[in-house]
Structure 1
Amino acid sequence: MVDYDFSQDLSEARAKYETIAKAVDLDALRTQIAQLEKEASDPALWDDTDNAQKVTSTLSARQTQLRKLEEVAQRLDDIETLYELGAEEDDEDSMNEAKSDLVSTREALSDMEIQTLMDGEYDDRAAVVTIRSGAGGVDAADWAQMLLRMYLRYAERAGFTAKVLDTSYAEEAGIKSATFQVDGDYAYGKLSVEGGTHRLVRISPFDNQGRRQTSFAAVEVIPLVEATDHIEVPDSDIRIDTYMSSGPGGQGVNTTYSAVRLTHLPTGIVITMQDERSQIQNRAAAMSILQSRLLVLKHEEEAKTRKELAGDIKASWGDQMRSYVLHPYQMVKDLRTGYETSDTQGVFDGDLDAFIDAGIRWRHQQRREAAED
């Protein structure tokens, strides 16, 4: 029975590896790496710093992807050999080591499978995340700040680099809104499944009668635009206002008019930026985020047109996507995927991998079903 179980687990692991290798297309991956290596070795590459950084970053990511795939293939062979030798010699320690290695290898394969499902046009980009407090008064503002902390902790755990670009503080506690940028491999692909309305149910720390309060906050995730995206924004479409940066309670961050409020007149989109010391830097950062939002808007309009032509496609994301309940019981549940956990503190400390992985699988399934309709 033990031999059968191990053989079955090993066969399933090999089948998953073959599926991943087919999705990645190893031959195409090796060809891409060779081309990138040729570009990286060109002395003229660094004449264009932005392009050079993109080439070297992409090369590193693709080399890492290929190395992991080759390592897993070798590990599966080694595990099979180790187990067979242990069985022949009745060496229980060797067989247990092989079982343990197979468990960790299957986990690695699951992580690799998730990356193959992030096949959207912008999934490999950096992400710009905006959190806004919703219904719930001061509790909602506090909830928005809790979400900000949660995502910054997630970025740290994931090895991403996060930078807060703008924060609007609420009067009593918490924040009205916050925008931050997350840089890392497939940051947008992962965080994009976090977009939607997040609901918190708890005993309000701001209610002297200790009543239960439901609060809402909205999370928006967009990909960071690149120079090649060609989003033209005429100067006549923009109004720019400057003001002094400020912190909690009106405390001044500096005494110059470095903060920027950029308004896109045709759409009414407003971007505020006060993280940088220089007005020029804040204006450039605000313009980059505006272009990102216009790019998303453009694709949403295109998707709407396609939807109208194709008819109604079921399983839209909807507004409320996750509930966080702290009273009368402890539970965080994703309403799209059904994934849930009672480890609420772990979630608030940034342990979101299981939720994000489930979201990516759910999204991939919806896309596949939509394509079949």
Structure 2
Amino acid sequence: MHPDVLADITDLEKTLTAIEQVKNPDQLAETIRELEEKASDPSLWDDQEYAQSVTSKLSAVQNEAQRLRDFRQRLEDLPVMYELAAEEGEGSELADEERRALRRELEAYEVKTLLSGPYDAREAVVNIRSAAGGVDAADWAEMLLRMYTRWAERQGHSVDLYDVSYAEEAGIKSATFVVHGDYTYGTLSVEQGTHRLVRISPFDNQGRRQTSFAEVEVLPVVETADHIDIPDSDIRIDTYRSSGPGGQSVNTTDSAVRITHLPTGTVVTCQNEKSQLQNRASAMRVLQAKLLEIKRRQERAEMDALKGDGSNSWGNQMRSYVLHPYQMVKDLRTNYEVNDPQKVLGGDLDGFIEAGIRWRVAEEQQDSR
């Protein structure tokens, strides 16, 4: 075996061992045993929400343990592949390809081990709002909605669209959706901030270049353990008819729900379900997520004040997408960039997300010194 290949396999071994130390296969096996015991309880489905939580966690942990076993098996098979190729006098192309693929997958998986925040393992509530730029900004917000939806599809995550507010001419004013799947909050949280688009405006009959902005907010889905108590006296609930693009009615009953949290002025809406009751439940989940985020920001501000650091390490404008006069997407925090905007807008965000997570961890480590 070539010394460079041997050194690379040794490096892969170190990477996988580091991942296993974080993920702890023995602890995963114990967690699986405990969840299987709960899942076998005949009374489990008396509480359907709890039962779904148990079975969902069991499936996620089983998949995690299986993936680690697969990584370990593939790494152990690599030297054998090279030996067989040498014995049969064939090239090592297949072994080289497998080694490169394993490195890519391990490096991507390693990023997931950096998601250790208290909410990182949760599902994500994403809000997109058009900002400065008029009709171009509304169109840009809709492009971002499509980009994140396609990213979720590529990852195998399902998306529930809770609410869309359409703009009059084109695009959307805002959208709220949930991305289901483990660690979707921790993964997408680095996407929060202002996204800037530069292009020749398709809405300008003089073909001038236009800069437009849209804001992305990412929140963790609230769980029962979060204790977000919202008294009925603190909210106002309004109902109205759902509408589609251009104000077209898509529902003949007042099923859409708008909830206003009076103490904070926070407003959430939901119109994706036909039932007013379902829309109200979905809107309350989003409201709880927003109030949890407000609480977290207050606690963070208090901690920063105690540390004598009132600055915010998260810059607001975080990424530029330039379609004219050149082609580039660049993250302003990590300096990660690509020269194929259409690929990024089609949902290929993994490079940006991985760079963002590594950047955030480095920032947090620096702040803690």
TM-score bin (small chain): over 0.9
Corresponding residue to 2:339 among 339, 342, 351: 342
Q: What pairs up with 1:36-185 in 2 under 5 angstroms?
A: 36-87=35-86, 89=87, 91-93=89-91, 95-185=92-182
Q: Answer whether contact 2:128 2:214 (CA < 8 A) is retained.
A: yes
With 117-126 and 130-139 compared, the bigger mean Cα shift is at 117-126
Question: Residue 86 of structure 1: CA displacement?
Answer: 3.7
Letter in 1 for 2:163: D
Q: Aligned partners of 2:201, 2:158: CA distance in 1, in Å?
A: 32
In the alignment, structure 1 segments of 5+ residues that lack a partner are none
**Larger deviation, residues 65-74 vs 213-222:** 65-74
- Structure 2 residue matching 1:43: 3-state secondary structure: coil
Paired with 2:276 and 2:118, the residues of 1 have a C-alpha distance of 32
TM-score norm. by structure 1 comes to: 0.95
- Distance in 2 of aligned mates of 1:112 and 1:144: 30
- Give the 3-state SS of the residue equivalent to 2:113 in structure 1: helix
Residues 1:290 and 2:287 aligned together: yes
Q: Which amino acid letter does the alignment assign opposite residue 123 of structure 1?
A: D
* Distance verdict in 2 for CA 1:314–1:235, change over 3 Å: closer
* Mapping of residues 18-29 of structure 1, within 5 Å: 18-29=17-28
CA distance in 1, matches of 2:307, 2:248: 53
Point out where structure 2 has 5 or more consecutive residues left out of the alignment: none
Instruction: Indicate the SS of the match to 1:92.
Output: coil
Q: Percent identity?
A: 59
* SS at 2:343 equivalent: helix
TM-score by length of 2: 0.96
* 1:313–1:370 contact (8 Å) kept in structure 2: no
Q: What amino acid maps onto 2:215 in structure 1? A: A
Deviation for aligned residue 1:127:
1.0
CA distance in 1, matches of 2:218, 2:206: 36
> Aligned partners of 1:274 and 1:203: how far apart in 2?
33
Q: Distance in 2 between matches of 1:257 and 1:248?
A: 17
Q: Deviation string for 1:193-214 (max 9, x for gaps)?
A: 1110000000111111111110
- SS of the equivalent of 2:43 reads helix
Cα distance change of structure 1 residues 313 and 34 upon mapping to structure 2, 3 Å threshold = farther
Once the two structures are superposed, what CA deviation does each residue of 1:328-351 show, in whole Å capped at 9, x if it has no partner?
Answer: 000001111111111111111111
Q: Deviations over 1:201-259 (max 9, x none)?
A: 00111111111110000001101112222110001110111111111111111121111
Amino acid of the structure 1 residue aligned with 2:319: R
Q: What residue is the counterpart of 2:185 in the other structure? A: 188
1:327 match: secondary structure: coil
Q: Which runs of 4+ in 1 moved over 3 A?
A: 84-87
The alpha-carbon deviation at position 27 of structure 1 amounts to 1.9
* Alpha carbons 2:301, 2:310 under 8 Å: kept: no
Letter in 1 for 2:73: Q
Please provide the CA RMSD for this pair: 1.5
Which digits, 9 at most, give the CA deviation of each residue in 1:19-57, with x for residues without a partner?
A: 101111222222111111211122222222111111111
2:271 to 267, 271, 274: 274
CA-CA distance at 1:264 after TM superposition: 0.4
Query: 1:190-229 residue pairs with structure 2 within 5 A?
Result: 190-229=187-226
**Cα deviation 1:178-205 (Å, max 9, x = unaligned):** 1111111211111111110000000111
Write the deviation string for residues 96-147 of structure 1: whole angstroms up to 9, x where unpaired.
3222221111122112212211111111211111110101111111111111
Equivalent of residue 353 in structure 2, options 329, 353, 356: 356
User: Distance in 1 between the 2:185 and 2:89 partners?
Assistant: 47
- The C-alpha deviation readout for 1:278-332, integer Å capped at 9, x for no partner, is 1111111111110111111111111111111112277711110000000000000
The aligned length equals 369
Q: CA deviation at 1:366?
A: 1.7
